[in-house]
Amino acid sequence: MLTAEHQEPLTIEAFLEQESGKELLRFSTAGSVDDGKSTLIGRLLYDARGIYEDQLASIQKSKVNRSSGPIDFSLLTDGLRAEREQGITIDVAYRYFSTPRRKFIIADTPGHEQYTRNMATGASTAAVAIVLVDARNGVLPQTRRHATISSLLGIPRIILAVNKMDLMDYSQQVFDGICSDFLAFAGKMGFEEILPIPMSALEGENVARRATKIPWYDGPALLEHLESVPVTGGRVSGELRFPVQYVIRPDQYFRGYAGQISSGTVRKGDTVMALPSGKTSRIASIVTFDGELDAASAPMSVTLTLEDERDISRGDMIVHPDALPAAARQFTADLVWMVEDPLSHGRNLLLKHTSQQVSVRVTSIESRLNIQTMERKPAPLLELNDIGEVQIEAARPVFFDSYRENRLTGAFILIDPISNTTVAAGMIQRAVEQQRRFEHVTAEERQARNGHKPAVLALRDESLALRLERRLFDHACQVVALDGAQGLDALMAAGLLVIVPEAESARTIDLNALPLPVSGEAAVDAIMAYLEQQGILQSDRFSAGEGI
Amino acid sequence: MSSLSHLQALEAESIHILREVVAEFAKPVMLYSIGKDSSVMLRLAQKAFHPGKIPFPLLHVDTTYKFGEMIEFRDWYPKSIGAELHVHTNWEARKAGANPIALGTSKCCGLLKTRALLDGLAAGGYDAAFGGARRDEEKSRAKERIYSFRDQYGQWDPKNQRPELWNLYNSRVDKGQSIRVFPLSNWTEIDVWHYIHMENIPVVPLYFAKPRPMIVRGESLIPPEHNVIPLLPGEKAEMVMCRMRSLGCTPCTGAIRSEADSVPKIIEELLRFRRSERENRVIDHDQEGSMEIKKREGYF
């Protein structure tokens, strides 16, 4: 069992030893005040000594106490005046605390529907999400929303915190019921892990220490679990993505590309490619203030120099040539729309992605997500807090990975170029091939390209038939001379001119009946003129005798 | 490779922020308050642009009530690392006799800090200003963005902040508008001291305990320097073993009793401490939520 207080070092040596291996974990919480979220965070901070005595004293002095206990922990976390007055958490608030094993950053977000954008903001950097449920109410529509947003924003792990178990007599049946309700939909959302924990923030059961009143639960307490889950979702192991932020050029001898590695590892001597130029070079050095490195991994901020002089600037991306990101001007993405003014297709906006900004147009709104039912349905607009799939066309190619693969090179924000506000957060799905929805090539399209209608021509004279075929072919006609009349419908459908010996039906143009000159060439001339006259050959493309 | 320690992760994030701002703004400046957070910010700026120089100037808003040791440090350290320093003072208010006793703390701050800061930023034509504020310092700061947008009057609207996702910062401002940028947003007080220790960063000696003359009033230790605080009958400064936990103007910055005379000892002290660092700042006690009011008006 963990008790942070007992393990806290009091000497500098013990402190430095402990800190050297301490990792940083970012997690988000979503839930409303009624679920006891502020109390839970307050409890976590208090038990992990993230709260100072004077802050506690100021809360104990406060005239407001909405809790049933001696300390209203929720007052610790509701920062802004409006929130204190209204008793709701409006904005994303960041909290910090530390245990001997880890430093934690909490992105504390509001739970109400009108704050979907704030939830998305908090979720964007989190490795774990705590979805809070009041044991009395069970899974509510907002629980589903929290899980959906967490999934959409790519949080790999979920903790289902079933709070206020004290008010349900710590009943296993209640807990199991809530878990199965939650797993019924969240189980399909692609999370790597979902861990339900029964707890009481008010009584401290299963928050910082294991519960004493829940004998039927033998899993970890909340803090214990937060101390052991993986910190990142594979940023180090991914492919190298190094967006160039800034070119450092103190004098003519040094030219370094400064940036923070989004994913992967770069080593001195690696062959790398700069995008969009596609030019390759080798890493000459990995420069830092503290000396050169042989290798650097995400999320380090470093400066790279190359063996060859290359024209690379901010917004470019350095990668390994055998592991390129997607490059496309058009792509589909999920958007969280964040402003009152709704999005309609055709809107021109600025896209900020890695270290580049580019003008884009939202070419279509493909669908809007109904968060309750998880259904995607066509919609003309995206309104505030809507989540939808759109197609975006950028003024120049964007280098990206799908958000599912890489949360940094797959993410972007959209900015309104007039008001300068951030209007949307986006998660790239995939590049759009320059494709249309394919339908049959129409007869009109075939005619326009071929310069003729399809027709079946009957001509008994075989040598004349072959001569005609050659002439039409030389004019780039789709033509074939057959010695019988099989499968003509298919050939007509393909837009062909078909030459057969005998008229097979009323649609056949029977050339045998024409009075033709004896000379082969003159006979073909006459046939060509006749076909033009009949409207089979488009007259502007054919004038008698003029082969190609 | 093993994953980064939390301090390395914070450092990498702060360097990313510093570089973004320099790449995207026309005229950035760093608000230099001389304190420990400024010292850390300055080191991060050196790291971000190495082997180049720090590509922006520093601006110190001098209320004239700072400790002499702070001014000494200010005039030495930035120059020693090749940084360019500007100093701005609201002389008009100062000459009219502005002080926290005559005007009250919040009005004095309004004139000598907030007004002077806004004027100093306007005079330099700066469109982005780095500040060393941390979100763990005070409740209203918990919701502050890393890029904090300010209107033409330098004011902050907490209800109308730009959403900030991933590591993507919206740098668009119109003429006359600006942003404040807080590269240390995610650092805590102990992170700052830990980093100072690891990096061997110079800080003002006022942070280290030694016997100093102090007016002892109940729990408070008030520095007598600048003679602003009127003494009560029979009161006089006495020598107390103490240090400053945060630095500001002498009349409004209380000292704490301490034996910690080195960075490791300060860290050990913090490990035992259960009081927040702004507690000894008189300015935060005017009324509940006073920091938020100051910030709305343009204070850092």
Interface size, chain A vs chain B, as Cβ–Cβ contacts under 8 Å: 197
Please give the torsion angle defined by the CA atoms of residues B285, B289, B292 and B297, in that order, rounded to the nearest 10 degrees. -70
Tell me how long chain A is.
Answer: 548
How crowded is residue A273: how many other Cβ atoms within 10 Å of its Cβ? Answer: 19
A408–B167 C-beta distance less than 8 A? yes
pLDDT in tens, A261-281: 999 999 999 999 999 999 999
A124–B7 C-beta distance less than 8 A? no
In a domain, A235, yes or no: no
Which pLDDT score is estimated for B288? 44
In a domain, B26, yes or no: yes
Contact B230, B236 (CB under 8 A): no
pLDDT confidence bin for B154, thresholds 50/70/90: confident
Residues from chain B that touch A54, judged by Cβ atoms under 8 A, are 275-276, 279
A303–B50 C-beta distance less than 8 A? yes
pLDDT confidence bin for A546, thresholds 50/70/90: very low
Which pLDDT score is estimated for A115? 76
Q: Are residues B226 and B133 in the same domain?
A: no
Which pLDDT score is estimated for A6? 42
Closest among A384, A240, A402 to A324, alpha carbons compared: A240
In a domain, A211, yes or no: yes
In a domain, A544, yes or no: no
Asked whether the predicted pLDDT for residue A342 surpasses 60, the reply is yes
Q: Is cis: bond before A299, omega within 30 of 0?
A: yes
- CATH number at B85 reads 3.40.50.620
B186–A80 C-beta distance less than 8 A? no
pLDDT confidence bin for A52, thresholds 50/70/90: low
* Alpha-carbon A482 to chain mean position: 55
Amino acid at A424: A
In a domain, B178, yes or no: yes
Strand, helix or coil at A246?
strand
List the single residue in A93, A299, A407 with the smallest CB-CB distance to B4.
A299
To the nearest whole Å, the CA of B277 is away from the closest chain A CA by: 9
Report residue B49: phi and psi, to 5°: -115, 10
pLDDT confidence bin for B284, thresholds 50/70/90: very low
B13–A248 C-beta distance less than 8 A? no
pLDDT in tens, A139-167: 988 888 889 999 999 999 999 999 999 99
Residues from chain A that touch B164, judged by Cβ atoms under 8 A, are 121, 422
CA distance B258 to A71: 30
In a domain, B192, yes or no: yes
| Tally: H helices and E strands in chain A | 13, 28
A289–B46 C-beta distance less than 8 A? yes
Q: Are residues B255 and B156 in the same domain?
A: no
pLDDT in tens, B212-242: 999 998 888 989 888 888 888 888 899 999 9
Q: How many domains does chain A have?
A: 4
* Alpha-carbon A158 to chain mean position: 19
Amino acid at A536: I
Q: Are residues A47 and A92 in the same domain?
A: yes
Out of A83-92, A170-179, A472-481, B282-291, pick the least confident: B282-291
Report, as an integer, the average pLDDT of A117-144: 91
Closest among A352, A482, A245 to B23, alpha carbons compared: A245
Which pTM does this prediction carry?
0.81
In a domain, A423, yes or no: yes
B265–A121 C-beta distance less than 8 A? no
Which pLDDT score is estimated for A85? 54
pLDDT in tens, B13-49: 999 999 999 999 999 999 999 999 999 999 999 999 9
Query: Residue A314 pairs with which residues in a beta bridge?
Result: none
Which pLDDT score is estimated for A72? 67
Helix (H) or strand (E) holding A331: strand A326-337
In a domain, B49, yes or no: yes
Question: Which of these three, A397, A431, A465, is where a domain ends?
Answer: A431
Relative orientation angle of helices A116-123 and A141-152, to the nearest 10 degrees: 40
Q: Are residues B191 and B233 in the same domain?
A: no
More confident residue, A67 or B55: B55
Which pLDDT score is estimated for A437? 58
Asked whether the predicted pLDDT for residue A106 surpasses 60, the reply is yes
Which pLDDT score is estimated for B285? 38
Residue of B nearest to A93 (CA): B143
More confident residue, A78 or B219: B219
Residue of B nearest to A154 (CA): B166
Q: Are residues B215 and B121 in the same domain?
A: no
> Best interface-test mutation with A: which of B15, B165, B187, B273 has the largest number of A CBs within 10 A?
B165
- CATH number at A292 reads 2.40.30.10
Q: Are residues A95 and A185 in the same domain?
A: yes
Q: Are residues A485 and A503 in the same domain?
A: yes
Q: Are residues A284 and A338 in the same domain?
A: no
Residue of A nearest to B271 (CA): A10
Residue of A nearest to B45 (CA): A289
Q: How many domains does chain B have?
A: 2
B161–A52 C-beta distance less than 8 A? no
Q: Are residues B179 and B215 in the same domain?
A: no
Question: Residue A458 is encoded by which pair of tokens?
Answer: 């009957």
Out of A86-100, B110-124, B151-165, B271-285, pick the least confident: B271-285
Q: Are residues A175 and A258 in the same domain?
A: no
Which pLDDT score is estimated for A181? 95
Residue B233 CB contacts under 8 Å (≥ 6 apart), including other chains: none
> Best interface-test mutation with A: which of B22, B44, B168 has the largest number of A CBs within 10 A?
B168
C-alpha distances (whole Å) from A482 to each of A372, A464, A476, A493 are: 63, 13, 18, 16
Asked whether the predicted pLDDT for residue B294 surpasses 70, the reply is no
List the single residue in B142, B166, B172 with the smallest CB-CB distance to A95.
B142
Amino acid at A380: P
A413–B279 C-beta distance less than 8 A? no
Q: Are residues B176 and B227 in the same domain?
A: no
**pLDDT over 90, % of chain A:** 55
In a domain, A489, yes or no: yes
Q: Are residues A301 and A350 in the same domain?
A: no
**pLDDT over 70, % of chain A:** 86
Which pLDDT score is estimated for B283? 37
Contact B89, B62 (CB under 8 A): yes
In a domain, B1, yes or no: no
Q: Are residues B236 and B271 in the same domain?
A: yes
List the single residue in A22, A125, A246 with the smallest CB-CB distance to B23.
A246
pLDDT in tens, A501-535: 988 888 889 998 888 888 888 899 899 999 998 88
Q: Are residues A214 and A314 in the same domain?
A: no
A82-91, A131-140, B245-254, range with greatest mean pLDDT: A131-140
More confident residue, B154 or A533: A533
> Best interface-test mutation with B: which of A10, A80, A288, A313 has the largest number of B CBs within 10 A?
A80
Q: Are residues B177 and B248 in the same domain?
A: no
Residues from chain B that touch A314, judged by Cβ atoms under 8 A, are 23
Which pLDDT score is estimated for A88? 47
Residue B94 CB contacts under 8 Å (≥ 6 apart), including other chains: B63, B64, B112
Q: Are residues B117 and B19 in the same domain?
A: yes
Q: Are residues A104 and A21 in the same domain?
A: yes
B53–A94 C-beta distance less than 8 A? no
More confident residue, A219 or B175: A219
Residue of A nearest to B199 (CA): A290
In a domain, B142, yes or no: yes
Report, as an integer, the average pLDDT of A298-314: 93
B6–A420 C-beta distance less than 8 A? no
pLDDT in tens, A240-249: 999 999 999 9
Contact A165, A192 (CB under 8 A): no
Asked whether the predicted pLDDT for residue B58 surpasses 90, the reply is yes
Mean pLDDT, chain A, whole residue set: 86
A245–B16 C-beta distance less than 8 A? yes
C-alpha distances (whole Å) from A81 to each of B159, B263, B295, B300 are: 11, 36, 13, 18
Q: Are residues B73 and B41 in the same domain?
A: yes
C-alpha distances (whole Å) from B186 to each of A26, A74, A95 are: 11, 21, 9
Residues from chain B that touch A22, judged by Cβ atoms under 8 A, are 5-7
In a domain, A360, yes or no: yes
To the nearest whole Å, the CA of B217 is away from the closest chain A CA by: 18
Asked whether the predicted pLDDT for residue A171 surpasses 80, the reply is yes
Residues from chain B that touch A412, judged by Cβ atoms under 8 A, are 168
User: Could you tell me if residue A58 is left (phi over 0), alpha (psi between -120 and 50 degrees) or otherwise beta?
Assistant: alpha
Strand, helix or coil at A133?
strand
Contact A424, A411 (CB under 8 A): no
Q: Are residues A56 and A147 in the same domain?
A: yes
pLDDT confidence bin for A483, thresholds 50/70/90: confident
Which pLDDT score is estimated for A90? 61
DSSP A139-190: S-HHHHHHHHHHHHTT--EEEEEEE-GGGGTT-HHHHHHHHHHHHHHHTTTT
Closest among B43, B53, B62, B49 to B16, alpha carbons compared: B49
List the single residue in A24, A258, A420 with the smallest CB-CB distance to B172.
A420
B272–A120 C-beta distance less than 8 A? no
In a domain, A541, yes or no: no
List the single residue in A8, A299, A303 with the smallest CB-CB distance to B271.
A8
List the single residue in B136, B164, B174 with the smallest CB-CB distance to A420.
B174
List the single residue in B5, B142, B158 with the smallest CB-CB distance to A20.
B5
Q: Are residues A23 and A140 in the same domain?
A: yes
Strand, helix or coil at B83?
coil
Amino acid at A303: T
In a domain, A452, yes or no: yes
* Alpha-carbon A302 to chain mean position: 26
A299–B13 C-beta distance less than 8 A? yes
Q: Are residues B262 and B192 in the same domain?
A: no
Q: Domain residues for B220? A: 205-285
CA distance A196 to A163: 10
Asked whether the predicted pLDDT for residue A131 surpasses 50, the reply is yes
Which pLDDT score is estimated for A67? 59
In a domain, B96, yes or no: yes
Asked whether the predicted pLDDT for residue A341 surpasses 80, the reply is yes
Asked whether the predicted pLDDT for residue A343 surpasses 60, the reply is yes
Classify residue B297 as exposed, middle or buried by CB count within 10 Å of its CB (0-12, 13-18, 19+): middle
Q: Are residues B180 and B261 in the same domain?
A: no
Residues from chain A that touch B173, judged by Cβ atoms under 8 A, are 420
pLDDT confidence bin for A490, thresholds 50/70/90: confident
Q: Are residues A338 and A472 in the same domain?
A: no
pLDDT in tens, A190-200: 899 999 999 99
Residue of B nearest to A413 (CA): B168
Q: Are residues A247 and A166 in the same domain?
A: no
Q: Domain residues for A190? A: 4-226
Strand, helix or coil at B189?
helix
More confident residue, A513 or A255: A255
Question: Residue B103 is encoded by which pair of tokens?
Answer: 């005007």
